[in-house]
């Protein structure tokens, strides 16, 4: 028999196809099954207008059979089949899509949607097969034909015996080489997994036949056998179902089946969008934090389907970094795929979907916060840090989306509060949103710097996460209120004249403070009388923007930028210790040296900063003990 040549361009294309278009060999199965599904869909469409044709959904199926001994893999369908001409033009000319032509003639109706469009998917089978044989009988054709090809050198076509309408694709799976094994494509479990992965939502049942048990072609009872078998695929995508039909358990099951997580999702969001871009999505907010979440290894992304067929496992462009904890999938009919159907050609639709999804997630989180506070706090414990990072990153571009979702522990409420709650509860005379930074709530609670603010009855937000101060520095103002550290030089609180004569004291003690400043000149910018201290003798405050907490964090970074806070040593002039200082200043300068060093080191300890010389510190204490 004379071999027909592929058209010249086709040869080169075929080579490209086999060697470069696809990143993974396994997708050949997705392509062949998609073709089978399209072929059945075509009968379905025909039946819509042809009264002689009844589409009985149960009689249509796709069957995958692996035969390890003979190294063949067969994909069979009961679809519309191909005539001799179809075989010649659709399989003989690469990049010719019979399905695209069909789709143009028949506008998509009621959710049925032909998948094929590029006319190349079929050839991906040459990635795993040396020989491809196609036996097909068309619904409106005469007789069956066998098409066969070993790749770039062309194909043969000849009449064949086949009674039932449909197509059978027989792949002679390649022999293993030194670097590559093809055995996996003959392994039932592996094949099942590939089908589940890419073709789970093909509308027609995909059945598997165990090795060697290939059914005889065209036997009349054959269909009865199939009916007994369970389909490998789930067929109806849960996201196409009506929300009212689905229970929370259904969503949970889907979450676990898809391995989005092993926990229970805290919340699901089911979207069915019909606007500028049509898509369905099921999104999840996980309950617990994935073990690698805050590491470089963690990859964000949603599964992306086009018409129910998996295109991408983790499409990162669908969700912003600050919502990277969200799991789930998106299915859309309006994506323009690239030829390998592994990527998209334009990201316009994708951007629209991503924007849409982002606002859906935000409003869902907001309603969780409003209506299910406990759940929200649970979520926030896991992912709050990511939200705060989101505020800080990209120069604060996303702060408007996120600032109402963050919470901090409150000195008054003794629980997490939002910025909105904080501002709502502010007394009228309070100018700033106060915060204190430290290692833990317990430690912050005891910070001397909080004394004045607490005494005024103002609430203080506790910042225990290293990102906290950076995040609020990015927000700058919330509802017109600026943030202020309780350690900052100017607290913006008018001192009560009744209990404060610090200013006059300061003048009286000017010389003492100057002397102490000179003793500590390499360590602090200034020593001064404190307005904020009540019961404690000493603390640090900072002038300028960099707080001590920020200094600690910045200096712990790998590329240590060597930022220094302008530390001020504040002394409580109403504390008994101050009398000793004054006394020593007048009578005994050595003692003043000792006291100054001790007070400075105490301030360091309160701040959780390391002592430069702990031995000297203990010696100093011994000196005052004896």
Site string for Mg ion, 30-49 (x = CB under 5 A): -----x--------------
118 is in an annotated binding site: yes
CB of 475 to ligand ADP, least distance (A): 50
Stretch touching ligand ADP by CB under 6 A, among 80-88, 253-261, 284-292, 373-381: 80-88
How far apart are the C-alpha atoms of 319 and 21, rounded to whole Å? 26
Q: Which two tokens stand for residue 614?
A: 């702990």
Q: State which of residues 14, 120, 493, 599 lies at the interface with ligand ADP (CB under 6 A).
A: 120
How far apart are the C-alpha atoms of 387 and 407, rounded to whole Å? 10
C-alpha angle 69-73-75 in degrees, rounded to nearest 5: 150
Count residues contacting ligand ADP (CB under 6 A)?
A: 23
Stretch touching Mg ion by CB under 5 A, among 109-117, 172-180, 391-399, 449-457: 109-117
CB of 170 to ligand ADP, least distance (A): 12
In degrees rounded to 5, what are phi and psi of residue 291?
-60, -30
Q: In what order do the strands lie in the sheet with 166-173?
A: 155-160, 144-149, 129-137, 166-173, 72-77, 62-67, 206-209
Q: Which is nearer to ligand ADP, 118 or 201 (CB)?
A: 118
**Would you say 134 and 147 are in contact if contact means Cβ atoms under 8 Å apart?**
yes
Q: Which is nearer to ligand ADP, 308 or 320 (CB)?
A: 308
How far apart are the C-alpha atoms of 618 and 620, rounded to whole Å? 5
**Would you say 132 and 92 are in contact if contact means Cβ atoms under 8 Å apart?**
no
CB of 11 to ligand ADP, least distance (A): 15
183 is in an annotated binding site: no
84 is in an annotated binding site: no
Q: Which two tokens stand for residue 302?
A: 């949603």
Spatial neighbors of 346 by CB under 8 A, at least 6 apart, are 336
Q: Which is nearer to ligand ADP, 167 or 517 (CB)?
A: 167
63 forms part of the interface with ligand ADP (CB under 6 A): no
Q: Which is nearer to ligand ADP, 117 or 542 (CB)?
A: 117
37 forms part of the interface with ligand ADP (CB under 6 A): no
161-190: which residues touch ligand ADP (CB under 6 A)?
Answer: 167
67 forms part of the interface with ligand ADP (CB under 6 A): no
DSSP state of 89: I
User: CA 109 from chain center: how many Å?
Assistant: 34
SS3 state at 159: strand
Stretch touching ligand ADP by CB under 6 A, among 33-41, 236-244, 289-297, 526-534: 33-41
Please name the residue ranges forming H helices in 212-347: 222-228, 248-257
CB of 136 to ligand ADP, least distance (A): 7
Please give the sequence-ordered ranges of beta strands (E in DSSP) within 88-152, or none if there are none: 129-137, 144-149
Stretch touching ligand ADP by CB under 6 A, among 110-118, 201-209, 210-218, 460-468: 110-118
Given the rule CB under 6 A, which residues bind ligand ADP? Answer: 31, 35-36, 39, 77, 79-82, 90-91, 97-100, 116-122, 167
Given the rule CB under 5 A, which residues bind Mg ion? Answer: 35, 116, 121
């Amino acid at each position: 028999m004379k071999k027909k040549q592929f058209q010249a361009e086709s040869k080169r294309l075929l080579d490209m196809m086999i060697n470069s278009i696809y990143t993974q060999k396994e997708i050949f199965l997705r392509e062949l099954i998609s073709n089978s599904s399209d072929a059945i869909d075509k009968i379905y469409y025909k039946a819509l207008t042809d009264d002689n044709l009844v589409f009985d959904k149960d009689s249509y199926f796709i069957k995958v059979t692996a035969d390890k001994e003979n190294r063949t893999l067969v994909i069979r369908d009961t679809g519309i089949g191909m005539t001799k001409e179809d075989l010649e033009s659709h399989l003989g000319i690469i990049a010719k899509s019979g399905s695209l032509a069909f789709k143009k003639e028949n506008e998509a109706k009621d959710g049925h949607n032909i998948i094929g469009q590029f006319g190349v998917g079929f050839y991906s089978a040459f990635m795993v097969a040396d020989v491809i044989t196609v036996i097909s009988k068309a619904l409106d054709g005469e007789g069956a034909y066998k098409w066969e090809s070993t790749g770039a050198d062309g194909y043969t076509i000849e009449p064949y015996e086949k009674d039932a309408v449909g197509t059978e694709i027989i792949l002679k799976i390649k022999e293993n080489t030194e670097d590559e094994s093809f055995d996996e494509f003959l392994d039932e479990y592996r094949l099942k997994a590939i089908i589940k992965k890419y073709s789970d939502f093909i509308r027609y049942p995909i059945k598997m036949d165990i090795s060697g048990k290939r059914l005889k072609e065209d036997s009349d009872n054959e269909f009865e056998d199939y009916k007994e078998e369970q389909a490998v695929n789930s067929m109806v995508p849960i996201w196409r179902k009506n929300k009212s039909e689905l229970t929370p358990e259904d969503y949970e099951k889907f979450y676990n089946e898809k391995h989005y997580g092993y926990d229970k999702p805290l919340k699901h969001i089911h979207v069915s969008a019909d606007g500028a871009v049509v898509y369905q999505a099921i999104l999840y907010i996980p309950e617990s934090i994935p073990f690698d979440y805050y590491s470089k290894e963690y990859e964000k992304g949603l599964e992306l389907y086009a018409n129910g067929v998996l295109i991408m496992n983790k499409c990162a462009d669908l969700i912003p970094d600050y919502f990277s904890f969200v799991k789930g999938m998106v299915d859309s009919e309006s994506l323009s795929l690239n030829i390998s159907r592994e990527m998209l050609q334009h990201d316009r639709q994708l951007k629209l979907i991503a924007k849409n999804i982002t606002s859906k997630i935000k409003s869902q989180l907001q309603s969780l916060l409003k209506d299910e506070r406990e759940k929200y706090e649970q979520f926030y414990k896991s992912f709050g840090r990511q939200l705060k990072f989101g505020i800080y990153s990209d120069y604060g571009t996303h702060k408007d989306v996120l600032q109402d979702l963050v919470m901090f522990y409150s000195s008054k409420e003794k629980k997490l509060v939002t910025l909105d709650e904080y501002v709502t509860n502010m007394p009228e005379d309070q100018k700033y949103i106060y915060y204190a930074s430290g290692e833990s709530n317990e430690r912050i609670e005891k910070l001397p710097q909080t004394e004045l603010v607490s005494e005024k009855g103002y609430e203080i937000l506790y910042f225990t996460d290293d990102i906290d101060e950076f995040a609020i520095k990015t927000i700058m103002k919330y509802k017109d209120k600026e943030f202020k550290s309780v350690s900052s030089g100017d607290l913006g609180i008018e001192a009560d004249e009744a209990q404060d004569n610090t200013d006059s004291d300061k003048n009286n003690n000017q010389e003492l403070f100057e002397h102490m400043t000179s003793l500590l000149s390499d360590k602090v910018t200034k020593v001064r009388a404190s307005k904020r201290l009540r019961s404690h003798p000493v603390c640090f405050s900072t002038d300028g923007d960099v707080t001590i907490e920020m200094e600690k964090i910045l200096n712990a970074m790998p590329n240590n930028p060597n930022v220094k806070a302008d530390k001020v040593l504040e002394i409580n002039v109403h504390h008994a210790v101050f009398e000793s200082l004054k006394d020593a200043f007048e009578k005994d300068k050595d003692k003043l040296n000792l006291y100054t060093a001790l007070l400075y080191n105490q301030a360091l300890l309160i701040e959780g900063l390391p002592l430069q010389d702990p031995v000297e510190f203990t010696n100093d204490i011994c000196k005052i003990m004896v």
